[in-house]
């Protein structure tokens, strides 16, 4: 999840400033996000996970999200 482009990301701004302070030139912007990892039953569909995101896990007013489903090795 990341904040929508229209929402100020103060944590990203602080990291960008820190990188510049350390001498790392050329960083134009930083967006900070988070990862939520769910282990679900085999019969859980992507639509079910989307519903979980939209009802509880993500603030869809200010955050974007994407779903990646796969099998753990």
pLDDT by residue (tens digit) across 1-17? Answer: 999 999 999 999 999 99
Would you state the pLDDT for residue 38?
Answer: 95
Query: Nearest CA to 33 among 54, 49, 15, 52?
Result: 15
CB atoms within 10 A of CB 1: 17
Q: State how far the Cα of 2 lies from the Cα of 58, in Å rounded to an integer.
A: 10
Q: Classify 51 as helix, strand or coil.
A: helix
| pLDDT value for 69 | 94
Residues whose CB is less than 8 angstroms from the CB of residue 65 and which lie 6 or more positions away in sequence, other chains included: 1, 53, 57, 58
37-73 pLDDT, tens digit each: 999 999 999 999 999 999 999 999 999 999 999 987 7
């Amino acid at each position: 999840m990341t904040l929508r482009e229209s929402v100020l990301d103060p944590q990203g701004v602080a990291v960008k400033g820190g990188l510049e302070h350390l001498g790392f030139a050329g960083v134009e912007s930083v967006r900070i996000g988070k990862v939520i990892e769910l282990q679900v039953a085999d019969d859980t569909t992507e639509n079910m996970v989307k519903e979980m995101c939209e009802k509880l896990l993500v603030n869809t007013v200010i955050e974007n999200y994407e779903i990646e489903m796969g099998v753990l090795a």
